[in-house]
Amino acid sequence: MSTKIVTARVGVPESFLLSTYLGHGGYSALRKALSMTPEDVHAEVMASGMLGRGGAGFEAGRKWSMLKQDPIRYLVVNGDESEPSTFKDHLLVENDPHQLIEGTLITAYAIGATRAFIYLRGEFALGLERVQTAINEAYAYGAIGANIFGSGFSIDLVLQPGAGAYICGEETALIESLEGKRGFPRIKPPYFPAVIGLYGAPTIVNNVETMSNVPWIITNGGKAFAALGKGRSTGTRLFALSGDVVKPGNYELEMTSKTFRELIYDPDLGGGLRDGRSVKAVIPGGVSAPWIGPDNLDLPLGQDEVAQAGSMLGSGSIIVLDDHSCAVRAVWRITKFFSRESCGQCTPCREGSGWIEKIMHRIELGSGTESDLDLLLDVCDNIAPGLTWPPQQTTICVLGPSIPSSVVSGIKMFRDEFMVHIKEEGCPFVH
């Protein structure tokens, strides 16, 4: 039985209530943290080696170290989970809001935040209700507010709903949104909100899953966390498995302990593919990531392992396409997503995403030409010159440079399939 950190209470009846959480030792990590110095709390998280669970995979403790020590500084939790096929934070906010709140409060103490905010995706109506209820309960219990548990430490925690915009997952766009503005990513530099963030003050932005790991780290020690996994991939991770598998769902696994193949085929995990079909491609880490083929299924689920194969673990989502699914249609739908969600500030992304989507659509519908493939790559090259991985950036944020991933993967891996669409003037797959 592998260690469950963030999903320990998933499946427990009324896991979202304070009474349940307290019954499982809830808020004892906060009490422990408040009896330590902030720098000792920070040191535990450093020792854990935990990489941020949002997608970029930056070490959480190191991020905290970068926080400019101005008198006013903020903590913002990023719960704007919108990367297609990522549904792990959704699970955590609905099932264990107190764990998230406790981790947030511990972090706020460690970094000396003036105020903490949890920015939650607007579409998570139930999640918003669960987290707000939990915040209300935690205030009444004395875990938030003035002089928490008699420690002399006070802080307020505010829940902020989003309103439907993928780009607000980008941390500077999220901050703009939290300031009541359009979700436009900010021009860099400054590269990190840790220098200039919310209301111009230094700000730490951490993901929901990152925060949800913090109570366990304080209770069990950073070393115990670091003992799980391998190399830079410490602890566990929530893998959101979807697509053509028998049992899609969230699986918390010790990092690097399983391979893609095991996650997909293990009867206790993905349970294999429907109707005994075979894997055609896997999209790891969200639709911004390059695809991997059936020849790479034995890669362990670790940060560096997937990076070395030319892709990324990203948000921990894994989409499986079987041999009856159309790669062209999948690429088209992904590019349509980017086209809809581009914020419109930068020309390469705003215009490029629209053109790519239109070309992909005509290929899928059967009116494409062979020269369209070169045209697609050319437009992609204008967004991310050189089509390298990780991509070169011509835009304010990484949304633009994420667009070519699926297009380039699709053409590289399934050129024949593109050609069938073009030659037979239509999609050969049954939908």
Partner 1 sequence: MSFFSSENLEKAQVLIGLYPEKRSALIPLCHLAQGQHGHLSNEAMEQIAELLDIQPAEVLGTASFYDMLHTEEVGKYLVGVCTNVACMLGGGIELLEHASDVLGVPIGGTTEDGMFTLEEVECVAHCDKAPCAQVNYRYFGPLANGDFDQLVDDLRNDRLSESVPPHGVLSQVFRDAPAMVPLEIIHRERRAMDDEKKARLAALNKDAGGNQ
Q: In whole angstroms, how close is the CB of 263 to partner 1 at the nearest point?
A: 14
Residue 16 interacting with partner 1 (CB under 8 A): no
Q: In whole angstroms, how close is the CB of 120 to partner 1 at the nearest point?
A: 10
In the list 129, 262, 304, 381, the residue contacting partner 1 (rule: CB under 8 A) is 129
Candidate ranges 132-140, 297-305, 347-355, 368-376; the one touching partner 1 (CB under 8 A): 132-140
Q: Which residue has the tokens 């999640």?
A: 127
Angle formed at CA 172 by CA 169 and CA 173, multiple of 5 degrees: 55
Q: What is the DSSP string of 99-157?
A: HHHHHHHHHHHHHT-SEEEEEE-TT-HHHHHHHHHHHHHHHHHTSSBSSGGGSS--B-E
Distance CA 296, CA 281 (A): 9
Residue 182 interacting with partner 1 (CB under 8 A): yes
Residue 84 interacting with partner 1 (CB under 8 A): yes
Residue 107 interacting with partner 1 (CB under 8 A): no
Residue 136 interacting with partner 1 (CB under 8 A): yes
Distance CA 419, CA 370 (A): 7
Could you give the string, one character per residue 390-429, with x where binding to partner 1 holds by CB under 8 A and - elsewhere? ----------------------------------------
Candidate ranges 24-32, 215-223, 298-306, 335-343; the one touching partner 1 (CB under 8 A): 335-343
Q: In whole angstroms, how close is the CB of 380 to partner 1 at the nearest point?
A: 18
Q: Which residues of 279-291 are buried (b: 16+ CB within 10 A; e: fewer)?
A: bbbbbbbbbbbbb
In the list 45, 67, 116, 178, the residue contacting partner 1 (rule: CB under 8 A) is 178
Strand order in the sheet with 115-120: 157-161, 115-120, 74-79, 203-207
Distance CA 414, CA 426 (A): 15
Q: In whole angstroms, how close is the CB of 224 to partner 1 at the nearest point?
A: 25
Q: In whole angstroms, how close is the CB of 370 to partner 1 at the nearest point?
A: 25
| Touching partner 1, residues 336-395 (CB under 8 A) | 337, 340-341, 343
Residue 153 interacting with partner 1 (CB under 8 A): yes
Residue 165 interacting with partner 1 (CB under 8 A): yes
Residue 154 interacting with partner 1 (CB under 8 A): yes
| Touching partner 1, residues 185-224 (CB under 8 A) | 199
Considering only CA atoms, which of 227, 313, 302 is closest in space to residue 48?
227
Q: In whole angstroms, how close is the CB of 385 to partner 1 at the nearest point?
A: 26
Residue 89 interacting with partner 1 (CB under 8 A): yes
The SS3 of residue 322 is strand
Burial of 1 (0-12, 13-18, 19+ CB in 10 A): exposed
Residue 161 interacting with partner 1 (CB under 8 A): yes
State the Rg of the chain over Cα: 22
In the list 2, 14, 65, 181, the residue contacting partner 1 (rule: CB under 8 A) is 181
Residue 35 interacting with partner 1 (CB under 8 A): no
Cβ atoms of residues 292 and 47 within 8 Å:
no
| Touching partner 1, residues 278-317 (CB under 8 A) | 283, 287, 317
Cis preceding-peptide flag for 190 (omega within 30 of 0): yes
DSSP code for 225: H
